[in-house]
Structure 1
Amino acid sequence: MRAVKSVLTAENASVLLLRALMDVNVAKFLAPDAPLFQGVISDLFPEVVLPKPDYDLLLKALSDNIAKLYLQPVPWFIGKITQVYERMLMHHGFMIVGDPLGGKTSAYKVLAPTLGDLYNAKLMDEFAVKFCIINPKAMGQLYGCFYPASHEWSDGVLATSFGDQAISTSEDRQWIIFDGPIDAVWIEHMNTVLDDNKKLCLMSGEIIQMSPKMSLILETADLEQASPATMEPHQLGWSPLRDSYMNTLPETLL
Structure 2
Amino acid sequence: MLFPLAVCDLNQYLKHKPPPDVMSGIGIWLIEQMLGTCEAIEYLHEYISSEGESLPTRRIGFHHDLKPANILLFESGKANRPVWKLGDFGSGDVKYTAVKSTEELYNRKASTGDPVYSAPEHVVQGRVSRSKDIWSLGCIFLECLIWTLIQEQDAVKQFETARNKFSLDNPYNSPLYWCQKLQGKPYLNPEVVGALQGLDDSREVHKNYKAALNIVRQMLVVEPESRLNAVQLCKHFRSLQTRWTELWIIGLMDCRGTDD
Q: TM-score, normalised by structure 2?
A: 0.26
Q: TM-score, normalised by structure 1?
A: 0.27
Larger radius of gyration: 1
Higher relative contact order (CA 8 A, sep 6+): 1
